Amino acid sequence: MLMRQIIPIAHHPTLLSIPADDALTIISELESFKSALRACYASFDAVPVTFEVGRLSGRGGHAHVQIVPVPKELADKVAESFRVAGEKQGIDWEPEPERALARVGAAGNYFKVECPDGTKLVHLLKGNFDLQFGRMVLASLLGLQHRIDWKDCQQTEAEEKDDAQKFKKAFAPFHS
């Protein structure tokens, strides 16, 4: 599971908390990266799944979107996998995701998934939430249960540098 993060340089705790005068530029850049990654993944017969834990906390979190390639043949199973796993954990998915996000605005905490088929799933966080939920669902879907806990995926510095170089080479044709 080759998870990537898209992190805006400007420091804001969630994407919804970005001030209006900065939001257009930051969100446009984020969407540009997502589009480039979509094209890159397509060259490997994969599609992207993005998820975001938007959480305001006193610890100074930094907004970011996690993006994971999923083989095209599993694309139609993504939304249902999140729905079923969420149901097992007592997660209530909002019937109108965009309205729910607009309603909570900059002060809201949320979990958002964008599926390959265009489905958006949103859960408004009300209490404890497993921050590894998105990773858990996708690792299970991909048959990589041994990669659910990020601590089991730590690499040496040399391995990280090697992976970074491989990714840069694969991504270069899709992003200028």
- Cα 81 to Cα 23, 53, 156: the distances in Å are 31, 18, 32
Interval 155-174: pLDDT, tens? 889 998 998 899 999 999 99
pLDDT at residue 150 greater than cutoff 70: yes
- CA separation for the pair 92, 6 (Å, rounded): 26
The first and second tokens of residue 4, run together, are: 């990537």
Q: List CB contacts of 91: < 8 A, sequence separation 6 or more.
A: 85, 111, 123, 133
Q: Quick one: which of 74, 91, 76 has its CA closest to 139?
A: 74
pLDDT at residue 113 greater than cutoff 80: yes
pLDDT at residue 53 greater than cutoff 80: yes
pLDDT at 49: 98
Per-residue pLDDT band for 56 (boundaries 50, 70, 90) equals confident
pLDDT at 1: 44
pLDDT at 127: 85
Portion of the chain with pLDDT greater than 70, in percent: 89
Span 40-60, mean pLDDT?
A: 87
pLDDT at residue 63 greater than cutoff 80: no
Q: Decide: 161 and 133 in contact? Cβ < 8 Å.
A: no
Residue 43 is given by DSSP the state T
Interval 133-147: pLDDT, tens? 999 999 999 999 988
pLDDT at residue 44 greater than cutoff 80: yes
Residue with tokens 């859960």: 123
Per-residue pLDDT band for 21 (boundaries 50, 70, 90) equals confident
Per-residue pLDDT band for 72 (boundaries 50, 70, 90) equals very high
Interval 26-43: pLDDT, tens? 888 888 999 999 999 999
Report field, pTM of the whole predicted structure over 0.75: yes
Helix (H, G, I), strand (E, B) or coil at 18: coil
